[in-house]
Amino acid sequence: MSDIDGSGFSAILLKVAEVSDRQGLVTVMNELAIAYGLKSAAYFGIGLPGRTNEAPFLAVTYSSDWVEHYKKRHFVEIDPVIQTGFRRLLPLDWDELARPDDRVKTLFDEAAEFGLGKKGLSIPVHGRHGDRGLVSVSCDRTDSDWAHDKMLYLRDFQVLATHIHDRVLRFGGQPPEPPHLPPRELECLQWIAEGKTVWECAVILDLSQHTVRCYLESARHKLKATSNTHAVSIAHTVGLLFPHL
């Protein structure tokens, strides 16, 4: 993968926030793939409010030939990324997937022939109303390079997955309802957003560091965030935080 800095990540996040339709999101997914040196990037959404059919919402960088081939071979029925990914809460490394079935091996071999990477990662997003999203990225890296890059960019992909799914929900005219956070949890998140440490939050709010950590942990859980930084990002997106106290 290429070396992308914080400004590059922020630029992609801003573009996600500005897209208003499927084609716009496909463009952003292509830019994401290029920025991170990926072979492919894809978003799958199911159970989305406002959609009257059962077909998933797709925004992918795959070639149209691969999409048609995938449909023709009915690979969705045996694709372990789809079958496992949507049920997961944590990111799924494709190396974890068992491939005992010959059709599954064929799926991955043919995917590589059509330009998808042999290494991949899928990030699940679970909405509050039964909606689910899955952001998948793939690349061709050595085992050691993939292990390094996966850890380096995992947080980026998790934040992007959440924002992409939230943006797709807005396409249907039904913005996601922000979770309720009590005043103390919001205060702690607000000060973290202002760059304060846990110790500084504790001093400002006249609380123990343990109590501040508990409030932050609770907020992360409600926001489905993986870190305080992730929680702040989500809270900003859904309008829970203000630029300044």
Q: How high is the pLDDT of residue 141?
A: 93
Residue with tokens 């716009």: 24
Of 9-18, 108-117, 142-151, 195-204, minimum mean pLDDT range = 9-18
Q: How high is the pLDDT of residue 54?
A: 67
Q: What is the 3-state secondary structure (H, E, C) of 29-90?
A: HHHHHHHCCCCEEEEEEECCCCCCCCCCEEEECCCHHHHHHHHHCCHHHCCHHHHHHCCCCC
Q: How high is the pLDDT of residue 13?
A: 87
Taking 70 as the threshold, does the pLDDT of residue 52 lie above it?
Answer: no
Residue pair 43/29 in contact (Cβ under 8 Å)? The answer is: yes
> pLDDT tens for residues 124-139?
998 877 889 999 999 9
With cut-offs at 50, 70 and 90, classify the pLDDT of residue 150: very high
CATH of 183-237, one of 3.40.50.360, 1.10.10.60, 3.30.565.10, 1.10.10.10: 1.10.10.10
Looking at CATH, the fold of the domain delimited by 6-171 is given as: Beta-Lactamase (3.30.450)
With cut-offs at 50, 70 and 90, classify the pLDDT of residue 14: confident
6-171 and 183-237 have identical folds: no
pTM (global) more than 0.75: no
Q: How high is the pLDDT of residue 245?
A: 41
> pLDDT tens for residues 61-89?
999 999 999 999 999 999 999 999 998 88
Q: How high is the pLDDT of residue 123?
A: 94
Hey, where are the domains in the chain? Answer: 6-171, 183-237
Give the C-alpha separation, 95 to 181, whole Å: 37
